[in-house]
Structure 1
Amino acid sequence: MPQIRRLPESLINRIAAGEVVERPAAALKELVENAIDAGASRIVVKLVEGGLGKLEVIDDGCGMSADEMALALERHATSKLPDEAIEQVSTLGFRGEALPSIASVAQLTIESRVRGAEDGWRRVVDHGQLVEEGPAALPPGTRVKVEKLFAKVPARRKFLRSERSEYAASLDVVRRLAMARPEVAISLEHGERRIFSLQADEPLADRVAGIVARELKDNSVAIAAEREGPGGMMRLSGIAGLPTYNRGVADHQYLFVNGRPVKDRLLVGAVRGAYADMLARDRHAVLALFLDLPPEDVDVNVHPAKTEVRFRDAAGVRGFIVSGLRQALATGDRRSAQGPDRGAMERWQQEPAQDPSPALATIFSRDWSAQKTRVSEAGQAWRAYETEVMARGDFAPQGRAIEVEETDAEQDFPLGIARGQVANTYIVAEAADGLVLVDQHAAHERLVLERLRAAGAGDAVARSQALLVPDVVELDEVDCDRLEEAAEGLAQFGLAIERFGPAAMLVRALPAALAKADPQALLTDLADDIAKHGQALLLEEKLEHVLATMACHGSVRAGRVLRVEEMNALLREMERTPRSGQCNHGRPTWVKLSMEDVEKLFGRH
């Protein structure tokens, strides 16, 4: 039987390093967190070869004396826990493992000077062995340099990724910590290049936009919500990108709990739930979300790297985030993405004019010798061109202009007055400051969804339309089980259904907004939607998915000819309706071409 033995200190440190330092970005995270906890007002981060060659963190914090520096390099030694109340911890790091773990797998150089002291102190540890120490000249604060990471641990070194991948991970770490502490000035250098330099005390929206993307500031809404929790007040703040401003990956979701960057599944799921009916399945929101709650309501000590947390009231926190985000997005409800797609504009501007007929070439030719054709011949050319076009059918009109009654000049409609319809799909409206194009199906789908929501919040019976003869819908037995289970929730929105035998449902009433919907198609889609989202979602969130499906059935379809009164009624209702700037799948419902954009198309700018 093998004997139990105590592991040597060097091996213990290397095992601990495996939990804390698996790549340069992990070491960088610990060092920057130490600088923030030291009270630094300015932090400089320098990387070489993405952190594989060297990483350095310089701060102007409180500094360490020689004795404190020696103690800091011992395991489980920390200044961040003044007592044993670990559930009350408010600092970013507190385990006391980072520095000795890094020093056991790299060459670590620490230089530090306490404010007011004449000299600083320097200590160099190479893969767990002290190789040098002595006085050092530097300003008050601390400078930590990590080199030769995993140089003596080749098994770990070979699992590191490319320089580009390691740099991307390190950049993400610095970005998240910079967002978490807008009161700290932070700069990042990679090789000889300055990546960014953020000033202290920037407004949160400016800092987040400066880190993520400049256009985020103009395509986002501010978040500010409060709710009473088990141990005290919970607060939610930050900025959330409009649903039409989204990304194909979730890398631009920055989540913080009590100022600590986290990548928590509960928070990610709450964000997905909040945007559920406003984003396509393969698109992701862009946001920076800050959740603050009493320390006793959250456990931050469940993961060695402290990137995951556990909440005392997980369901309450999730519901708070979903409702807080939805309320914030409702304040930017009528906004769509800022301006038309640049690529589409460029194609519109750059598309060469076609030469529809050789007969017309002489009319527009710059060769004045060719302009000797008489006017009568030009007229013949136009008639020949007209005959040619009508024969080919190339330019069959796709839109119709409508004569509109003049409105009161003092009325200012943000989405303008309808002037026509293109391809029986897009409404063309004239606003005071430009041209507005509206996708009639996408817009009406959003309006129907909001009506259904309003029915659920109010008197569903008053917004429900009973069928003269109940409709029997035959479905698979499993689908009937799902619908029967959801029947009570659906009744809140005016859809009255009940079981009618093993494999059928009886539809007694439809929501007024879906009066013309096909019950068979509606219930089939609802059953599929409930099956897709399973039992894991809260009832409220599950119903949101169901409502989106119902709204699609009750909306104006593309290809339908609308009267001018219907177009204007649609525009006016969009101006009054929350979240009308995007459809239920996250696409914009309208796009505006400013007068400046229009003038650019004709070279008048």
Structure 2
Amino acid sequence: MKIRKLPTLLINQIAAGEVIERPASIVKECVENSIDAQATQIDIAIEQGGHQLIRISDNGLGIAEDELELAVSPHATSKLHSPDQLAAIGTLGFRGEALASISSVSRTKITSRPTRDGKAAEAAAVLEVEGSRLSPPYPAACAPGTIIDVRDLFFNTPARRKFLRQPSTEFAQINEIVTRIAMCNHNIGFRLTHNDRKITDLPPNQTRAQRVISLVGKDIKNGLLEFSHEDLAEHGGATLWGMAGLPEIARATNKFLYLCINGRVIKDRNLIHAVREAYRGLIPPEKTPVAAVFIEMPAEDVDVNVHPSKAEVRFRKPKQYFGLVRNAIRQCLLDNDLMPTAKLSDDAVPAFRPVEQEKVPETEATQAFVDYFKKMAPKQKGFAYQEVQRAIQTEVSKEAPLLNDTFTQAVSEQEVVDTETGEVMAAANDAAPILAAEPQGLNLTPVKILQIHNSFVVTEDDQGIVIIDQHALHERIMFEKLTARVLGTNSGAPKSLESQRLLMPEIIEASQNEQELLEELKPLLVRLGIEVEPIGPHVVALQAFPSFLYSRKVEAVPFMRELIDKSLEGAISINDPAAEENALHEVLDMMSCKAAIKAGDNMTEDQLAELLAQKDKFERTSNCPHGRPTTLRLTLKDLYKQFGR
């Protein structure tokens, strides 16, 4: 078989296989060309999800009549002139493949009226292309700018046309790419219609914040936090601006995570990981934060010539930009109150009426609490526990006590350990504090505080009632203490956790593969006070275990079995520094969860006061390490509304 040079049409159709995957690809390429042409208004009209028509209109610089035929030739562009420019690409398009590829698989019409030196041409010129057939340009009338009509996509490649999805699915993809491009270009107006129905209409010259809110939805406007870093010499003069969503509005997909570099929509695992790391411990692992990140940086610091779609990029200094994004968002979250507000439905209680309403079944204890609250003076902002308890005890029978002397009963059969040292402090039946011991002189002054059902702690702040999940909050406090010790963030020198050697080693069944995993994790396990040695083909011996876990009666074998299972799933690995950090957090997560106060543990008044005191000493106490909320706030405004005041 002889080697032959391929015909131009076939070359373009092969290139279209990489560049034009679906109608959304055409929209992306044409809109980016409009942006490069300095357009300030771009209109996108779609019919039947792009199957029938895609029309892109702009008011940009346009294409001269004598360049129209060249514009649909392969590798013809006005954006690059020398190889040196590839090292610092400042435009969205640069390969010169888009129009050639589009016209080779569709019926394309280009109408353009160019503007040069501020003066528009007297008339527009029209070029029609159908596969390999080009009609000579002819004059027409239109406003300055360019209109590209793409009809009957893949009409001459039926094998590809049959893989097009339903019009609704294809339009959803178009809407998504237009949204992302519009997000990155707030100075440009965008109008999107589908079957003559307006979908998006964004005015030009919005601020970045206005554009973000317009696209993600005004309903979550109050859940967005603005952050920025400017003129950072250590990042080559890069500037960063963005909006980060509160943890409570995190989504199940990454649809609301936007990344933009120099006006270009990108997909970058490194930056996505940076955003997720900033939210570590604030949202569940399966959720994705709502965030929009915009970076302006020197063009030579990023390579966009990586993939035909130009969405994937490579950074010259990826670690620096990872740290820039992660630290900026993390600091933004630390600087704001992340405590979620309890949402009360308007239908939660009936509207106030003089006639008696049917009561919703509820426990006597809860009814007693509500009844007493109704008797309070309107100006009374909170409640004292002793007063509430006395009032309730006179109204509730002994068969349904509300508190059962919550403030005086100690947790039975539990030892308490200082998480800083791993040392056993005392037994719970000796009335030892359930939290880590504090320095002498800690002022545990009485506060307005209740323990409800031995699971939740209720107190007040200046905005209303605060409800705390005692297990989740203590888990976060323990996690922060353990992390600080192991990483040395407070003391300056990392330290291993205190370990207790076992007189009789615990025997754990482990396959050869599992033994290899444990050997790989050995440096990490030693830091955490765990020593495991193989003693047979399918057996390992646990020689040492963290002291504080033993003191909290955490069973060693089930703990190690869970650790091994997580390693097999890939959740715990130390293949690289980033993975090692993730593995450390994962294991400390496990330790904190197992050792923390449990729901159902009765706590003394001093223990409750200490738990709240510890809450203010650590960051990120609004969420447990798994991302679940530790605290909810019921505002005074909602209370007044629910009680008809």
TM-score (norm 2): 0.76
Matched, 1:166 2:170: yes
Separation in 2 of the partners of 1:517 and 1:445? 15
Separation in 1 of the partners of 2:407 and 2:60? 70
Q: How does 1:236-275 map to 2 (within 5 A)?
A: 236-275=240-279
Give 1:347 deviation, angstroms. 4.8
Give 1:91 deviation, angstroms. 1.0
Aligned residue among 487, 490, 493 for 1:458? 490
Separation in 2 of the partners of 1:125 and 1:430? 71
Confirm or deny: 8 A CA contact 1:400 1:422 kept in the other structure: no
Confirm or deny: 8 A CA contact 1:54 1:148 kept in the other structure: yes
SS state at 2:254 partner = coil
- Greater CA deviation, 19-28 or 228-237? 228-237
**AA at the equivalent of 2:594:** H
Give 1:99 deviation, angstroms. 0.9
Separation in 2 of the partners of 1:226 and 1:480? 49
Matched, 1:156 2:160: yes
Q: How does 1:350-365 map to 2 (within 5 A)?
A: 353-354=359-360
Matched, 1:340 2:339: no
- Greater CA deviation, 549-558 or 290-299? 290-299
Separation in 2 of the partners of 1:584 and 1:572? 19
- Give the direction of change, closer, same or farther, for the CA distance of 1:402–1:475 in structure 2 (3 Å limit): closer
Matched, 1:597 2:597: no
- Give the direction of change, closer, same or farther, for the CA distance of 1:341–1:53 in structure 2 (3 Å limit): farther
Give the equivalent residue in structure 1 for 2:419: none
Give 1:335 deviation, angstroms. 0.7
Deviations 1:335-377 (A, max 9, x none): 134x32466x645669962589xxxxxxxxxxxxxxxxxxxxx
- Give the direction of change, closer, same or farther, for the CA distance of 1:184–1:420 in structure 2 (3 Å limit): same
Give the equivalent residue in structure 2 for 1:506: 543
Stretches of structure 1 lacking an aligned partner (at least 5 in a row)? 357-388, 405-415
Give 1:97 deviation, angstroms. 0.9
Q: How does 1:442-521 map to 2 (within 5 A)?
A: 442-455=472-485, 456=487, 457-459=489-491, 465=498, 467=500, 472-476=505-509, 482=517, 485-486=520-521, 488-489=523-524, 495-500=528-533, 502=535, 503-507=540-544, 510=547, 516=552, 518=554, 520=556, 521=558
Give the equivalent residue in structure 2 for 1:37: 36
Give the equivalent residue in structure 2 for 1:114: 114
Give the equivalent residue in structure 2 for 1:190: 194
- Give the direction of change, closer, same or farther, for the CA distance of 1:235–1:505 in structure 2 (3 Å limit): farther
Give 1:514 deviation, angstroms. 8.7
Separation in 2 of the partners of 1:9 and 1:480? 59
- Give the direction of change, closer, same or farther, for the CA distance of 1:342–1:142 in structure 2 (3 Å limit): farther
Matched, 1:541 2:571: no
Q: How does 1:395-434 map to 2 (within 5 A)?
A: 396=400, 418-434=448-464
Matched, 1:580 2:621: yes
**AA at the equivalent of 1:95:** R
- Give the direction of change, closer, same or farther, for the CA distance of 1:48–1:573 in structure 2 (3 Å limit): farther
Matched, 1:95 2:95: yes
Separation in 1 of the partners of 2:504 and 2:276? 35
Q: How many residues align?
A: 551
Give 1:326 deviation, angstroms. 3.3
Confirm or deny: 8 A CA contact 1:400 1:420 kept in the other structure: no
- Give the direction of change, closer, same or farther, for the CA distance of 1:355–1:573 in structure 2 (3 Å limit): closer
What's the C-alpha RMSD, in Å, of the aligned pairs? 3.5
Give 1:26 deviation, angstroms. 0.5
- Give the direction of change, closer, same or farther, for the CA distance of 1:463–1:325 in structure 2 (3 Å limit): same
Confirm or deny: 8 A CA contact 1:123 1:132 kept in the other structure: yes
Separation in 1 of the partners of 2:60 and 2:607? 65
Give 1:22 deviation, angstroms. 2.0
Separation in 2 of the partners of 1:490 and 1:174? 48
- Give the direction of change, closer, same or farther, for the CA distance of 1:467–1:355 in structure 2 (3 Å limit): closer
- Greater CA deviation, 472-481 or 554-563? 472-481
Separation in 2 of the partners of 1:212 and 1:552? 35
- Greater CA deviation, 44-53 or 519-528? 519-528
Give the equivalent residue in structure 1 for 2:80: 81
- Give the direction of change, closer, same or farther, for the CA distance of 1:355–1:500 in structure 2 (3 Å limit): closer
Give the equivalent residue in structure 2 for 1:133: 137
Confirm or deny: 8 A CA contact 1:514 1:553 kept in the other structure: no
Give 1:153 deviation, angstroms. 2.8
Give 1:182 deviation, angstroms. 1.7
SS state at 1:560 partner = coil
Matched, 1:53 2:52: yes
Matched, 1:435 2:465: yes
Separation in 1 of the partners of 2:36 and 2:233? 27
Deviations 1:557-577 (A, max 9, x none): 111223344334333433443
Deviations 1:532-560 (A, max 9, x none): 32345532222122222222123221112
Give 1:164 deviation, angstroms. 0.9
Stretches of structure 2 lacking an aligned partner (at least 5 in a row)? 352-356, 363-395, 409-445
Confirm or deny: 8 A CA contact 1:227 1:320 kept in the other structure: no
- Greater CA deviation, 227-236 or 199-208? 227-236
Give 1:193 deviation, angstroms. 2.6
- Give the direction of change, closer, same or farther, for the CA distance of 1:330–1:517 in structure 2 (3 Å limit): farther
Give 1:31 deviation, angstroms. 0.7
**AA at the equivalent of 1:541:** N
Separation in 2 of the partners of 1:481 and 1:419? 50
SS state at 1:165 partner = helix
Give the equivalent residue in structure 2 for 1:557: 598
- Greater CA deviation, 417-426 or 8-17? 417-426
SS state at 1:30 partner = helix
- Give the direction of change, closer, same or farther, for the CA distance of 1:60–1:311 in structure 2 (3 Å limit): same
Separation in 1 of the partners of 2:450 and 2:348? 23
Separation in 2 of the partners of 1:498 and 1:240? 41
Give the equivalent residue in structure 2 for 1:331: 335
Give 1:77 deviation, angstroms. 0.8
- Give the direction of change, closer, same or farther, for the CA distance of 1:482–1:563 in structure 2 (3 Å limit): same
Separation in 1 of the partners of 2:293 and 2:358? 46
- Greater CA deviation, 577-586 or 29-38? 577-586
Give 1:483 deviation, angstroms. 5.0
- Greater CA deviation, 88-97 or 100-109? 100-109
Deviations 1:250-292 (A, max 9, x none): 2222223343212234444444444443332432222222345
